[in-house]
Amino acid sequence: MKVTKTDIEGVLIIEPRLFNDARGYFFESYNRKNYEEAGITADFVQDNESCSTRGVMRGLHFQRPPYAQAKLVRCVKGKVLDVAVDIRKGSPTYGQHVAVELSEENHRQFFIPRGFAHGFAVLSDTAVFQYKCDNYYHPEADGGISIQDDTLGIDWQIDPTEALLSEKDTKHPLLKDFDSPFILKEK
């Protein structure tokens, strides 16, 4: 597998090695040993899947400590723009984001460490999105920042007037009004 570091430390793009022949393709979507060698040591305990239609935007979500989650995400059908925003107080990249297109064609995966808000926009007619989490979901720990915050500089590739958002996602604060529960720990 090919692992690409991004401009934000810890956020990684993973491209698995595909084996193609006349029958189709095969690849390992997860192999703990290979991921640990790449520096991803998260102990994944929960897998989730969502199906969404074109124009759906989900996020920007996170779980507050002590229930914070690292995620390994991928799109198994269709195409999404996936985004991670650094929300760690004291981080030199606080408020910055990494965006990557994930699709059934490119088979990319995106690793998002704890301390990041995560969201995606559906760019195809439908998209099936899967993610592994290293902590269990706790509804009382739900948090988010506004997916429509223009100051984040994210080009969602969707007309904002046509975006489909949940009621919950329309109520998240802008980054400037947000008091992050995450603090960057010195190494």
> What is the model's pTM?
0.94
What pLDDT does residue 56 have? 97
| Domains delineated in the chain | 2-183 (2.60.120.10)
What pLDDT does residue 186 have? 66
Residue of 35, 107, 118, 131 marked catalytic: 131
- In the chain, the N- to C-terminal Cα span, in Å, equals 27
pLDDT digits (tens, 9 = 90+) for 45-92: 999 999 999 999 999 999 999 999 999 999 999 999 999 999 999 999
Q: Which token pair is 174?
A: 């802008």
pLDDT digits (tens, 9 = 90+) for 144-166: 999 999 999 999 999 877 899 99
Residue of 35, 61, 97, 107 marked catalytic: 61
If one counts every other C-beta atom within 10 angstroms of the C-beta of residue 161, the result is 5
What pLDDT does residue 161 have? 76
pLDDT digits (tens, 9 = 90+) for 23-42: 999 999 999 999 999 999 99
pLDDT at 128 over 90: yes
User: Is the link from the previous residue into 66 a cis peptide, with omega within 30 of 0?
Assistant: yes
Gap between the Cα atoms of 156 and 25, Å rounded: 30
131 noted as active-site residue: yes
Any idea what the Cα angle at residue 58 is, between residues 47 and 17, rounded to 5°?
50
